[in-house]
Structure 1
Amino acid sequence: MHILLLSNLYPPDILGGYELLARDVAEVLTHRGHTVEVLTTGSRTSEASVIRTLRLARPFGRPAGRDRLRHFWAGLRNRAATRAYLRTHAKPQVALVMSLRRLGLAPLRVLQQAGIPFVLTVNDDWPVAYAAGLSPRGHTRFGQWLDEVLVPARTWSGLVVNRVLYLSEAVRREVRNAGAPLASGVVQSQGVDLSLFTPRAFRPMRAKLRLLCVGRLHPSKAPEVALETLAALKQRGVPATLTFVGEAGEPGFQIHLQRRTQELGLEPLVTWAGKHPREQLPALYHEADALLFLSRLEHEGQGLTYLEAMACGLPVVAWPSGGAREFLERHDAARLVPACSGEAFADALTALRGDPAAQEAIVQRALEVVRAHASLDAYVRCLEGQLRHAARGSTGP
């Protein structure tokens, strides 16, 4: 198939896992013999198969805004850019639409008008940004009318979305309950590249625990609870260190965490490793004794770092939310704590540290679950099936 991948960002421009997944999907589909072109944003020069002519209504890194003027101009530019792409390139058989947050829906309208079927992937709540204005309050209805008439790039009005691949049931529920007029679609867990994230030989936890947190430093990820876990272990006489792999979007939050580390007397025990390329993560997972996975984000799509750790044979101790909780509770492949607190995590780690048999059982179960339910290959196969159905005009699931 000739596939157009439409996304707001594409590597090397990334915010997190969604953009990396977009590149993974493009590479795997290409390897399977499909022709994949990417239409996206960015200041870099376009490549042969990555056309960077779209524009964001507001750059990431700045506070989100609902101002109509920005969306109006972005919609005009992106409509023109999408039409230009269709004029100068062979017409794709089908489009794969990834996140359009801050990009707007103008490109989607052009595709629909051109008769190009599309499949949406919904890995977080991005469609909700264009479902605002559904309140019955009068001024909101007036705002919705203005959007539909003047700025259709930021509403779903008139768009028919029949094929959707949701990352989790939690995401599907969140998005549809918020009023986004998307089909119920199918649910498929995001996948880990099992050729990169390979398991180590099982070994029990060390006497001095090496704990790991991977991901951006953000209040929704509760990194301060990881620090409190380390402090609780120290009070119990359980030696441990903690490494954070990731960086804060807001420098002030990084400073807050470092001050909290000082207050708890943990400075010699905490390493701030910063952001690492994905290719370096398996070595970090192999070296650690446990991954701490924390999330207070109720619309968490699914999360990825705990799956990477599980694929590497690293025990996961977690307080998950959203799709992550849904996945881990269903598959029983991690040690879940009863509260998002340092004491609860310390209890779980202390018990697990003294029970090598339980550690091995968790690791083996996790490896089975990732292979069966959360591989990149399984995700792309499901997506490929949806793209084929859409290209044929099939209306079934």
Structure 2
Amino acid sequence: MRLAFVTPMRPLAHPRLSGDVTIAQDLADFFAQRGHTVIPAGQISTDRIWERPWRWPALAREALRLVRLRPRVDAVFTYHAYYRAPDLLGALAARCGAPYIVFAPAYATNRRRHWRSRPGYELNRYGLRQADLLVSNKQPEVRNLLRIVPEEKLLYVPPGIRTECFSFDAQARAGLRAAWNTGDDPVLAVAAMLREDVKAEGLEWVIRTAGRLLREGTPLRLAVAGDGPARARLEALAAAELPGRAVFVGRMDRFRLQEFYSAGDLFVFPGIREGLGMVYLEAQCCGLPCVAWDHDGAPEVVRHGVSGFVTPSYDAEAFAEAIRSLLTDPARRVALGRSAREYVLANHDVTRNYGRMETRILELLAARRQEARS
């Protein structure tokens, strides 16, 4: 199977690692490992493109390239289309007769109410209705999509990670904890992009909550992986709240993050407006229980009471108590960490989950070929 791979928001090889880029790369890797050919196409961002006419010529060139590519591919596969970055190229290819699949589509009717987002809403709605198959990795999104497409065009696939790349590393744990001079104190681990938005807001909550727990007599350390414009400010906040007890290790290669997770004792991050939160799956696969908020995507990948705790959003007391309960009960922490890994292996292995999607796509292509012969 030859796939034209379209990414409307960020190119497949975007240098800034994020959840979006990670999922797109995992999808491309999955198809390649299964023996399929992935051809990057439509790598121009359509982010609010209706407001950015200087991008239109580049988009037109990409559209022409995709039309010329059409006879040499079996289908067009798009990762993530929504109101802000609608998939214009995949919809065009569908009009030209190409089987069209969208992974992680999003549809929200509230975007039609504002003049600035209305063009994106209409373009996205049109594009999604052209698709032969919409593959959602978020349960709530399935309900939204049923407003515009029939159920037979929808497939739910639980989010997944490459579980073979994330496991506990005892040697890395010993080395990093020695370098951080943690002693026997439990370590709160956080991995996030440190940008001035909800990511920084979430880390502020972690730092201030950790500072409060420390002042109340709960020993702990904080380790943060990630980089970005907010780093200096967050480091200063951590120095004030947790003097001598916080370490920022900077950006790490994704497949070395298991070393970082292994050095921690629990993973703590609110996940404010987090689409899915792949870091929760990575941390759990390395044996860390998680504490997150019931905000958007985190509850879909953290099972309350099984792999950690999910607390009410912006409830400072509940958040602090969940963290404290795991810091002060090592046996429970270890038991939940073991359960967390088992949960991810059973439910969020990317190869197993994406295999269901692959089967549906191959069935779709076979049906198309049958139609062409009849």
TM-score by length of 1: 0.76
CA contact (8 A) 2:169 2:258 kept: no
Gaps of 5+ in 1: 42-54, 59-63
Count of aligned pairs between the two proteins: 350
> Secondary structure of 1:3's partner?
strand
Question: How far is 1:227 from its partner?
Answer: 0.6
State the distance in 2 between where 1:34 and 1:57 align. Answer: 26
The answer for the alignment partner of 1:51 in structure 2 is none
1:69 maps to a residue whose letter is P
Once the two structures are superposed, residues 40-80 of structure 1 have per-residue CA deviations (whole angstroms, 9 ceiling, x without a partner) of: 42xxxxxxxxxxxxx3346xxxxx57516346445423322
Partner residue, 1:215: 192
Q: Deviations over 1:107-129 (max 9, x none)?
A: 11331133111211117x4x55x
Partner of 2:126: 156
- Give the gaps of 5 or more residues in structure 2: 174-181, 369-374
Alignment partners' CA distance in 2, 1:348 and 1:330:
11
Q: Is 1:238 paired with 2:222? A: no
Once residues 5 and 155 of structure 2 are traced to their aligned partners in structure 1, the CA distance between those partners, rounded to angstroms, is 19
- Cross-structure match for 1:2: 2
Which whole-Å CA distance do the structure 2 matches of 1:356 and 1:103 have between them?
Answer: 45
Q: Is the 2:281–2:344 Cα contact (8 Å) retained in structure 1?
A: yes
CA distance in 1, matches of 2:55, 2:110: 14
| Pair 1:80-2:64 in alignment | yes
Greater per-residue helix proportion: 2
Correspondence for 1:366 among 332, 335, 340: 340
Label 1:57 to 1:98 Cα distance change in 2 as closer, same or farther (>3 A). closer
Q: Is the Cα–Cα contact under 8 Å of residues 163 and 183 in structure 1 kept in the other structure?
A: no
Cα distance change on mapping 1:343 and 1:23 into 2, 3 Å: same
Between the aligned partners of 2:39 and 2:220, the Cα distance in structure 1 is 48
What is the aligned counterpart of 1:282 among 258, 262, 271? 258
Distance 1:360 1:381 in 2: 32
The residue correspondences of 1:354-393 to structure 2 (distance < 5 A) are 354-393=328-367
For the residue of structure 1 that corresponds to 2:164, the secondary structure is coil
The Cα offsets for residues 228-283 of structure 1, whole Å up to 9 and x where unpaired, read as 122112112222221211123xx2x4344244335x44242222222211121000
**Aligned partner of residue 190 in structure 2, secondary structure:** strand
Residue 293 of structure 1 corresponds to 269
TM-score, scaled to structure 2: 0.80
Equivalent position SS for 1:229: helix
SS in 1 for 2:244: helix
Rate the CA distance shift 1:74–1:210 in 2: closer, same or farther, 3 A.
Answer: same
Alignment match, 1:308: 282
Change (3 A) 1:169 1:12: same
Aligned to 2:142: 172
Report 1:114-133 matches (<5 A): 114-122=96-104, 125=106
Contact 2:218 2:327 in 1 (8 A): no
5 Å matches for 1:20-59? 20-41=22-43, 55-57=44-46
Aligned-CA RMSD value: 3.4
Task: Answer yes or no: is the 8 Å Cα contact 2:91–2:131 preserved in 1.
Answer: no
Q: State the shift of 1:132 in Å.
A: 8.0
Distance 1:140 1:234 in 2: 45
Deviates more, 1:162-171 or 1:72-81: 72-81
- What one-letter code is carried by the residue in structure 1 that aligns with 2:198? S
Is 1:67 equivalent to 2:51 in the alignment?
yes
- Equivalents in 2 of 1:114, 1:330: separation in Å? 47
In the alignment, is the contact (CA less than 8 A) between 1:293 and 1:320 conserved in 2? no
Partners of 1:294 and 1:91 in 2: CA distance: 45
| Higher RCO, 1 vs 2 (CA within 8 Å, ≥6 residues apart) | 1
CA 1:14–1:199: 2 relative to 1, 3 Å: same
SS in 2 for 1:284: helix
| Matches of 1:31 and 1:12, distance apart in 2 | 21
Identical pairs, percent: 21
1:105 partnered with 2:80: no
Residues 1:319 and 1:226: Cα distance change in structure 2 (over 3 Å): same
Query: Do the aligned partners of residues 286 and 68 (structure 1) sit closer, same or farther apart at CA in structure 2, a change above 3 Å counting?
Result: closer
Taking a change above 3 Å as real, the CA distance of residues 153 and 77 of structure 1, as seen in their structure-2 partners, is farther
Matches of 1:165 and 1:157, distance apart in 2: 14
Q: 1:172 is paired with a residue of what secondary structure?
A: helix
